[in-house]
Amino acid sequence: MLTLFAWTATLSAQKITREKADEIVLNRMNQETSVYYNYYTIYNKENVQTEMAITTINGEVFELDYPCWVYYINYSYGIDANRYLIINESNGNLLEIKAKKDTGPADLATWRIGMINYYADAKQLYYGEIIKNENHPNYNNPELDEEGIKEILEIIQAVYDSQSLERDTVFYKYKIHEYYRYNFHSVELEVNPELPAIQNLSQGIIPTGDETLDKILSAYAFDSVETFVYPKFPWITISTKKEYNLIPIVKEFNELESIISAEFAIERMAGDGNRIELIREGDSATITFSIGRGDCPSGCIYRKHWEFQVSDGVAKFIKTY
């Protein structure tokens, strides 16, 4: 099934080049909020399609009668539908088509792999470095350092640019991404249910009436509240749609008289899967991709690794084990 999803106008007086079309597509993808939307591969037709006719895996055909750049977004996991993004060459208008998994292009193997998104992976690896090192310069900075994330993304990019059989295995055959283990959004609060401000918070009433508590909730845009067998189990989970280094934020909550204890789940408590591990020393880095197999919901019992070394922006395959 194919469903028209959205139109977005990007008006232009000139014809849209591939570079501009790529930019429009990336801007659209960067608007996604769900973590699963961060893991995808973008395929595209090599040239402008003057009259587009695409046959899907299940035999459906859809056509467009204007010159356009054609992209297909294939999500790695967690999403039950992929999508087509069609960029009008004349004016940059974006047509978005939601596509069930069985409505991908029948000839996808002939499409060009344009972009693989590893920003979410770089962000996980960056946060992992902070959590494991109390002396990290950004340990007490709630804002995620985009430059720091970009540095790690460039290491992954170097491996992608290495043009080796092992590179193909990691990115194309197994599509290895870092297992999503670090939380950027939610804090657990142990509270006194008898306090008026806490009673308000437990019901999702913000501001709560406690000035110091409300100041923190507002500063980090906490706008979602969950309880579990409350107040018998006096814990409240608060969440924000924004992404933060939660270490200093938890410290702020722990300084409040109205909060008994604040914490956040440093890593997911259950499950396992494919992994990316990064060790940086000076100007070089060792990055290892691995696939996990065998009862991964309880913790993978088998793992195969591909190790690369990156120095001066150039990656070299080291070994597999």
Question: The tokens of 3 are what?
Answer: 């469903």
- Which residue, 96, 116, 136, sits at the end of a domain? 116
Residues 168 and 235 in one domain: no
Q: Is the pLDDT of residue 113 over 80?
A: no
The answer for residues whose C-beta is within 8 angstroms of residue 84's C-beta and 6 or more apart is: 2, 54, 70, 71, 72, 73, 95, 96, 97, 99
Residues 80 and 109 in one domain: yes
pLDDT of residue 62: 83
Residues 106 and 226 in one domain: no
Element (H, E) at 275: strand 275-281
Residues 149 and 63 in one domain: no
pLDDT of residue 34: 59
pLDDT of residue 268: 60
Distance, in Å, from the CA atom of 208 to the CA atom of 225, rounded to the nearest integer, reads 12
What residue type is 258 in one-letter code? S
Higher pLDDT, 131 or 103: 131
The answer for residues whose C-beta is within 8 angstroms of residue 34's C-beta and 6 or more apart is: 78, 79
pLDDT of residue 316: 96
Residues spanned by the domain of 288:
119-181+270-320
- Which residue, 67, 84, 116, sits at the end of a domain? 116
Residues 291 and 309 in one domain: yes
What residue type is 71 in one-letter code? Y
- Which residue, 263, 285, 309, sits at the end of a domain? 263
Identify the CATH number of the domain in which residue 215 sits: 3.30.70
Strand order in the sheet with 259-263: 222-227, 235-240, 186-191, 259-263
Q: How many domains does the chain have?
A: 3
Residue 102 and residue 121 in contact, taking contact as beta carbons nearer than 8 Å: no
Distance, in Å, from the CA atom of 73 to the CA atom of 37, rounded to the nearest integer, reads 10
pLDDT of residue 1: 56
Taking the CB of residue 295, how many other CB atoms lie within 10 A of it? 11
pTM of the model: 0.72
Task: Provide the sign of the torsion angle of the four alpha carbons 234, 240, 244, 249, taken in this order.
Answer: negative
What does the mean pLDDT of the chain come to? 87
Residues 169 and 100 in one domain: no
pLDDT (tens digit per residue) in 4-59: 554 455 555 678 988 888 888 877 877 765 555 556 778 788 777 777 788 888 88
Residues 146 and 90 in one domain: no
Residues 168 and 280 in one domain: yes
